[in-house]
Structure 1
Amino acid sequence: MLERYDYVIVGGGSAGCAIANRLSADPGTTVLVLEAGHSDYKIDPFVHMPAALPFPIGSKLYDWKYETDPEPAMGGRKIYHARGKVLGGSSSINGMIFQRGNPMDYERWAKDPGMESWDYAHCLPYFKRMESRFLADGSRGADEWRGGSGPLHLERGKADNPLFGAFFQATQEAGYPLTDDVNGYRQEGFAPFDRNVKNGRRWSAARAYLHPVMDRKNLDVETFAYATKILFDTSSETARATGVEFDQGPGVYGKGKAVRHRTVHAGEVILCGGAINTPQLLQLSGIGDREHLESVGVPVVHHLPGVGENLQDHLEVYIQYQSKLPVSIAPGLAWHQRPKIAWQWLFQRKGLGATNHFEGGGFCRSNDDVDYPNLMFHFLPIAIRYDGTSPIKGHGYQVHIGPMYADTRGWVRIRSTDPKVHPSMLFNYLSTATDRKEWVEAIRVARDILNQPAFAPFNAGEISPGPSVETDEEILEWVRKDAETALHPSCTAAMGTGEMAVVDPSSMKVWGVDGLRVADASVFPYVTNGNIYAPVMMVAEKAADLILGQTPLAADKAPWYSYRAGSPLYPTGDRRNQQHPRQEAQA
C-alpha cells in the first residue's frame, strides 16, 4: 500500500467497485479502495449461490446488522436493516433484482434547482453503458432502452413455475397490463424480472467491476479496513480533505483481533459507504449540522445541516396464500434436499440454487391521482420470509408489496465520537396520512390480484395477514407489527443546491469543502420506485465521468411511457380488459 493515492475510495460496495474500475483505467492514476468487510471469496457459496441469500442476511460475518431507533408510528418497533459487510457491499447479499425505477423518478430529480442534468434522458446512457442484458432464452436483449456490452450481466427470470403463469394472468384479470420490460419503454405493468445473475452465479458489483481489473498495478484494494475519520487541512478558508484514517486487522473489531490504526493521504477522497455509513463518516469527521456535532463532542470542520437528513426507504409486507396444488418450490428447499441443491449448483450451476426465485412481478398505480406506479410487487412461488421461516409446512405463494415513494422522511445521526457505535437511525415509517392511505390501498390491490379466477385452482386461503384483517385500521395495525424494510435506504447526502443539499450535482463534490466527493445511494434527492441497486450503479457510472472531468454522455432521447401524456391505455378510467398500445413518444 502506498502512502498517498490520487483517489482514496471509502467503501468497496456497489458504487465503490464501479468507480474504482473507471478511475483506475488510466494507468497514471493511483486508486485505493478501503472496504471494512472481508473479501467476497470465490469459494463462498453464501455470497455466490443466488438462492443462498437468506444466509448472509442476519449473519455478523456478512451483515452490519443495523436497526432503527423505536419507530413512533410502528408501535415503537425497531426495524432491522441488513447492509453488506463484504466486498461488493450489499450487492453481495441482496436479492439480485435489477430495477431502474421509473423515468419520471429522474424527471422529478431534474425539477430541483441545479439538477437539470439528472433527468431521464441524461441518466439513460449510463444505464445502458453498464448493462449486458440477456433474455430468458439466452439471447441478447439490447435495444433502444437497454445495453448489451456493459460489465453488469443481467439475466431475465424464466418465471416458468405455473404459479407465475397464474399471477400474470390474475394481474390482467384485475385490470392491470403486462409489459415487455419494466426497465424499458414502460415500467408500468407486470413481467419477468431482470436479475444480477450470470450462469447461475450472483453477479455482484465486485464480480462485474472490481475483480476483472484487480491486477492493475495502480489499483489497491484493502479489506478489513474500517474508515474512522476524513483528514482535513483547515489552514485555508475552505477546508480540504487530505486523507483518511482507518483501522485494519483480520476480522476488524472482532474479539481478540489485533487492529492497526493507519493513515493514507489522498489527492481526493470519494465516499461510497451508502446512505448509513457515508453520513456517519462525514459527521465523525466534522461535516454536518453544527448543533448536532457539538452535542456529541465532534469539532466542527464545516456546518452542512443536510448531512444525515432526508433519509428515505421502502417498507414492505408479505401477503401469503396456501396452495391447494403441490406446485410451489417449497419441497425443493427442504433441509434434506439441500445437499442435492448444493451439488447441482456447484457442478452444474443449475437447479433451485441457481436462481434468486424473484423471477417476476411488476408495478401499478393504487389510484388515479398518482402520476406513475406507486406500488411494487415481487411474486414468489413459495410462502417464506427472508430469514427462511415459513408459516406453513405445505405449498404456498406470496407477493412482497409496498408503496414506492412515501412522503416520510427520517435521519442518520451519530451518537458519539466512537466510529464503532452504530448511528441513531429513524425512518418515520407510516408517519404521514398519505403513506397510511397508500398502505391500505396496497393491501387491497394485492388481495384483489391474488383472488382473481386465475388463482382459483391454487387458492387455499390467505395465510398472512389472514381474513381477520379487513378494515383500514386492522390493515394498518398489521403493517405496524409485520412490515420489514425492503432494504433501500437512501437520500442522506442529497444532491442539489438548496440549504439542505450536501453534494453538488455537477461534480459530486461536498458543498463547502475541497477534495471530497460522494457517490452512492446517499446522494439521491428522492428514492426511486423500485430496488435501488441499478440507480446506485448509474450514479456511480455518471459520477466517474464527473470526477475525471470527462464530458458526460450525451442525452438519449428514447421515448418512455407516461400515463399523464394522453395514453389510450385507460381511456375511460376503467382498467379492466384494456389493451396497452404504445403511446406517442415523450422525450
Structure 2
Amino acid sequence: MTVTDEDFDYIIVGAGSAGCVLAERLTASGRYRVLLLEAGGSDLRLFVQMPLGYGKLFYDTGVNWAYRAEPDPGLAGQADYWPRGKVLGGSSSINAMVWIRGHRSDYDDWRDAGNPGWGWDAVLPAFRAIEDWEGGADDWRGQGGPLHISANRAGLHPLTHAYVAACAAAGLPETPDFNGAQQEGAGIYQLTVKGGRRMSAARAFLRPALRRRNLVLRTRAQATGLIWEGNRVTGVTYRHRGGERRARAGREVILAAGAVNTPQLLLLSGIGPGAELRAMGLDVRHDNPNVGQHLMDHQGLNYTWRMTVPTLNQQLRPWWGKALAGARWLLTGAGPLSMSINQGGGFFRTDPALDRPNMQLYMQAFSTIIPRVGERPVLTPDPFPGLSLGLSNCRPSSRGWIRLASADPFAAPRIQPNAFSTEGDVAEMLAAVKFLRRIAAAPPLAGLIAEELRPGPATATDEELIADFRLRSGTVYHASGTARMGPDPAGAVVDARLRVHGVPGLRVADASIFPTIPGGNTNAPAILVGWKAAEMVLEDAR
C-alpha cells in the first residue's frame, strides 16, 4: 500500500554529516517545514557514543551499509570492504573522529575550476562558524559553534611524543594545528569528541534541531526514487515500516546520502548515463554520464613494528584490561576508550617541489597483525607490544565509479575504486612507504623498536614494496566526487550552488559533490558542504 504524506517545504535524504547540518539550519527560522529521511536507525548506542567503540561497528550491519567493492586490479585483484554509516550521523557516527579541513589550496582549486563561493577565503568563515575549538578562537579557528573539536592533549600514549620527535629527526617538524596556518608537519590529531563521547553530526546539529516542531525525522526510511512533474523533481518515494510512502517538497529535494547512495538514488531515478539506465530497464529522465563517475578515495596502509616498551596492546587485549578501560570511560569519560586510535599524525611531501603535502600520516600505539574474524580489531590488538605507522595519499589521480547492480533500490550498487591505476599514484606511494621507514629509523623511535613485522625487512626492492602495498592497501573511507560540482553539465552533475544540472527542484549536498578530493580526512569538508548548502538554499528561498 502507498501512503501519501503531507507536504513539506524541503525534503533531505540522508541524516549523515551534511544532512544533519542541513536539517538544523533549514529549520532554525521556523519558517520551513522539513522532512529528514534516514535509512538507518538511532545513534544512541554504546559503541557509537564510545569513541574507540568504532572498532565494534566496522562490520555491524545495524549501523553500517557494509559494502564490498568490485575486485580491483590495483589492489592485487582484491575486493575491498567499504563501511559506510547507516545510522543517524551517517559516517560521522562510525568514523575515527579526526578533524581535518584539508589544505587551503584544495578549496582554491574548487573555485578555480569554475565554482565561485568555494575558495578558501569563502569557506574559512563557514569552518570557523561550525567549530567550537577547544584551543580557542583566532584568525583560523572558531569557538562557540555547534561542533566541539577536542585538542586531544590529555592522556596521550607516551609513544605519541616519541613519534613526533622521530618525525622531526627525519626532517618533518612539529605542527601545532593541522587546521591552522600550516598543515605540513607532524603532531597531535584533533578529534570530534566532547566529554569523552563522540561528537557526531547527529549530536552537534540534529539533536538540537529535533526540539523544533517544523522538523520531521523518519528513521529506517530508505529513499527509493524521486517524484517528477515534467522535468522537475517534486518529492521522494521511500520505504518505511514495510510500506511504500510518498512525500512532496514544495521547494526542493536535497540529496545528502553520501558518495555511494546519492549517485545510486540519482541513477534509480533516471538521472545518469542514458545507455546504462536503459540497459537496467529504467526510464531516462536526464542523461548525464557523470553521475557515479569520477569516484575518488584515499588509499592507505600500515607498517608495523614490535616494540620493546608497552603499548596500548597490553591495556586493551586482556579481558581485564578492557574491563578497566570500560569502567574508567563510564565513570570519568577518560582513558583510551575516550579517544581515536589515531593519536598522532601528519602531512608531508614526497617531492619537495610540490606546492603542498601529498601524503597523510597516522600514528597508532597499538598493532593488529593477528586479526580477529568478523571484527576490525581495534579492541583486540596483538599479544605483544606493537606500533603502527600508517599513511594515505592526499590527492590520488586514480578515478573509479559507482554503478547500479540492478534496478532494485535495495540492492547494493557496484563500486570500482580503480586504486593505484595511474603511474603517479604508484610512484608517490612508493616514496611514501620509504619515508615510514625513515621515521622508524630516527633515534627517538629506533631505540624502542625490536623489529619490523609488516611488511618486514625482507621486503626491500621497489618491486617488492609496490607488490606489498597493492596487497595490503585499502580504502580509508573517504569516497567522494560521484556527483561532482562544476560549471559545465558536460563534465559535472551539480553547479556551484549544488543544483543538479538540468533538473529543477533538486540539489546534492554531501561528499559526492567534491570536484577534487581534499588532502585529509573528509568529514570536515562534508560538514562544510552541508553548511554552505543550507546558506545557498536559504538565500534562494528569499
TM range (shorter): over 0.9
Partner of 2:377: 388
Q: Which runs of 5+ in 1 are unaligned?
A: 136-140, 250-258, 553-587
How far off is 1:298 after superposition? 0.8
**Take 1:227 and 1:367, find their aligned partners in 2: how far apart are those partners?**
45
**Take 2:343 and 2:382, find their aligned partners in 1: how far apart are those partners?**
22
2:528 to 523, 538, 544: 538
Question: Mean alpha-carbon deviation: is it higher for 9-18 or for 351-360?
Answer: 351-360
Residues 299-329 of structure 1 deviation map (CA, whole Å, 9 limit, x = unaligned):
0011111111100000100111111122x11
How far off is 1:213 after superposition? 1.9
**Take 1:126 and 1:465, find their aligned partners in 2: how far apart are those partners?**
42
* AA partner of residue 396 (structure 1): G
SS in 2 for 1:68: strand
8 Å contact from structure 2 (residues 16, 92) kept in 1? yes
Matched, 1:243 2:235: yes
8 Å contact from structure 1 (residues 157, 360) kept in 2? no
2:168 to 157, 172, 195: 172
Partner of 2:140: 145
8 Å contact from structure 1 (residues 241, 514) kept in 2? yes
Q: How does 1:251-262 map to 2 (within 5 A)?
A: 259-262=242-245
SS in 2 for 1:53: helix
Question: Mean alpha-carbon deviation: is it higher for 517-526 or for 462-471?
Answer: 462-471
Partner of 1:557: none
SS in 2 for 1:195: coil
Partner of 1:188: 184
How far off is 1:475 after superposition? 1.0
* AA partner of residue 98 (structure 2): I
* AA partner of residue 359 (structure 1): Q
* AA partner of residue 239 (structure 2): D
Q: How does 1:483-522 map to 2 (within 5 A)?
A: 483-498=473-488, 499-505=490-496, 507-522=497-512
Matched, 1:343 2:343: no
How far off is 1:2 after superposition? 5.0
8 Å contact from structure 1 (residues 325, 457) kept in 2? no
* AA partner of residue 388 (structure 1): P
Residues 543-575 of structure 1 deviation map (CA, whole Å, 9 limit, x = unaligned):
1010111799xxxxxxxxxxxxxxxxxxxxxxx
**Take 2:170 and 2:322, find their aligned partners in 1: how far apart are those partners?**
37
Partner of 1:56: 57
**Take 2:292 and 2:77, find their aligned partners in 1: how far apart are those partners?**
21
**Take 1:160 and 1:123, find their aligned partners in 2: how far apart are those partners?**
31
Q: How does 1:67-78 map to 2 (within 5 A)?
A: 67-78=68-79
How far off is 1:536 after superposition? 0.6
Partner of 1:17: 20
Residues 466-508 of structure 1 deviation map (CA, whole Å, 9 limit, x = unaligned):
1111111111111121112100000000110121210111x21
Q: How does 1:253-332 map to 2 (within 5 A)?
A: 259-267=242-250, 268-326=252-310, 328-332=311-315
Partner of 2:121: 121
Partner of 2:372: none
SS in 2 for 1:18: helix
**Take 1:391 and 1:482, find their aligned partners in 2: how far apart are those partners?**
18
Partner of 2:211: 215
**Take 2:383 and 2:213, find their aligned partners in 1: how far apart are those partners?**
54
* AA partner of residue 240 (structure 1): R
How far off is 1:404 after superposition? 1.0
**Take 1:391 and 1:219, find their aligned partners in 2: how far apart are those partners?**
43
Question: Mean alpha-carbon deviation: is it higher for 378-387 or for 446-455?
Answer: 378-387
Partner of 2:401: 411
TM-score by length of 2: 0.95
Residues 145-170 of structure 1 deviation map (CA, whole Å, 9 limit, x = unaligned):
00001111000122732211111111
8 Å contact from structure 2 (residues 110, 516) kept in 1? yes
* AA partner of residue 261 (structure 2): N
How far off is 1:98 after superposition? 0.4
**Take 2:299 and 2:455, find their aligned partners in 1: how far apart are those partners?**
16
* AA partner of residue 323 (structure 1): M
**Take 1:413 and 1:199, find their aligned partners in 2: how far apart are those partners?**
41
**Take 2:381 and 2:462, find their aligned partners in 1: how far apart are those partners?**
24
How far off is 1:116 after superposition? 3.0
**Take 1:377 and 1:399, find their aligned partners in 2: how far apart are those partners?**
7
* AA partner of residue 72 (structure 1): P
Matched, 1:157 2:157: no
* AA partner of residue 61 (structure 2): K
How far off is 1:383 after superposition? 1.2
Residues 196-242 of structure 1 deviation map (CA, whole Å, 9 limit, x = unaligned):
000100000000000012120100100000000011112xxxx1111
8 Å contact from structure 1 (residues 315, 486) kept in 2? yes
**Take 2:159 and 2:141, find their aligned partners in 1: how far apart are those partners?**
28
How far off is 1:391 after superposition? 7.5
Residues 17-65 of structure 1 deviation map (CA, whole Å, 9 limit, x = unaligned):
0000000012120001000001112xx2110001111001111111101
8 Å contact from structure 2 (residues 440, 446) kept in 1? no
How far off is 1:73 after superposition? 2.1
How far off is 1:4 after superposition? 0.9
Relative distance call for 1:321 and 1:232 in structure 2 (3 A) is same
**Take 1:84 and 1:60, find their aligned partners in 2: how far apart are those partners?**
9
Residues 412-465 of structure 1 deviation map (CA, whole Å, 9 limit, x = unaligned):
011211011111111110111001101101100111111101113311111111
**Take 1:70 and 1:519, find their aligned partners in 2: how far apart are those partners?**
29
Q: How does 1:392-403 map to 2 (within 5 A)?
A: 392-403=382-393
Residues 364-413 of structure 1 deviation map (CA, whole Å, 9 limit, x = unaligned):
10112322101100111111378117784111111121211110001101
Partner of 2:91: 90
How far off is 1:289 after superposition? 0.9
How far off is 1:179 after superposition? 1.3
Q: Percent identity?
A: 40
Partner of 1:30: 33
Root-mean-square deviation (CA), in Å?
1.6
**Take 1:307 and 1:4, find their aligned partners in 2: how far apart are those partners?**
28
**Take 1:369 and 1:430, find their aligned partners in 2: how far apart are those partners?**
22
**Take 1:23 and 1:275, find their aligned partners in 2: how far apart are those partners?**
22
8 Å contact from structure 2 (residues 187, 344) kept in 1? yes
2:220 to 221, 224, 232: 224
Q: When the two structures are aligned, how many residues end up with a matched partner?
A: 529
**Take 1:356 and 1:103, find their aligned partners in 2: how far apart are those partners?**
25
